[in-house]
Amino acid sequence: MNCILLGPPGAGKGTQAKNIVKSFNMLHFSTGDMLRKAKKFDEIINKLLLTGQLVPDKVVIDIIKRRLERDDIKKGFLLDGFPRNLRQAEQLDLMLKSKNVRINKVFLIDIGFEEVINRIAGRRVCECGASYNIIAVPPKKNGICDCCGANLVQRNDDREESVVRDRFAIYKRQTEPLIEYYNKTGLLVEIDGLKDEKAVFKQISMYIL
Ligand SMILES: [Zn+2]
């Protein structure tokens, strides 16, 4: 089964992606991770990422395409972080068609702006990669990482509500046509993201074969 995971920043996409790929033995296609890997041997990607420029869609699609050629994806994959807009979705579909691969479900973890603000304001991260939320997923010891014992920090870009507001507005603008696109094809499954992590995962699991 091949799936796409959509949702605003703060919806818990990362956590759910991990749950899904682990439980269903799927391959996690995180475009962020793939680009970070690719930059090690690709000078052009490295330069784009270093200067904070957007990596062209074609480059991302080529990376996914090459990844599809390996034979460890028989149980399916989960795309996380791509596509972000309608154009990318259309290009992705063209590429998948050429490979005779299809998307079976598109999960949208739906939460509203108010909830995004609450969650992002409470988000704490550790340099080891662990992330917490002082309301929803607090660490055992206040301000300390459960995994490595380091001090947790609040990300710079999470501090300002205006930044969050902008990110949410961009997400909305880009994602709405995308949601409509996948809704038309009957692939879209809306998941109530206001529930806790386990309940959200349970909702998603019901649709994965
Ligand atoms: Zn840590």
* Tens digit of each residue's pLDDT (9 = 90 or more) over 88-131: 999 999 999 999 999 999 999 999 988 888 887 788 999 998 98
Rounded to an integer, what distance in angstroms lies between the CA atom of residue 68 and that of residue 118? Answer: 38
Active site residue 70: no
Q: For 162-186, write each residue's pLDDT tens digit.
A: 778 888 899 999 999 999 999 999 9
Distance 56 CA to ligand 1 centre (A): 33
Separation of first and last alpha carbons in the chain: 7
CATH architecture of the domain 3-111+174-205 equals 3-Layer(aba) Sandwich (3.40)
Q: Where are the domains of the chain?
A: 3-111+174-205
Known catalytic membership, residue 18: no
Q: Tell me the CA–centroid distance for residue 128 and ligand 1, in Å.
A: 4
pTM listed for this prediction: 0.80
Task: Please count the other Cβ atoms lying within 10 Å of the Cβ belonging to residue 185.
Answer: 11
Which of 29-43 are b and which e, b meaning 16 or more Cβ less than 10 Å from the residue's Cβ? bbbeebbeebbeebe
165 an active-site residue? no
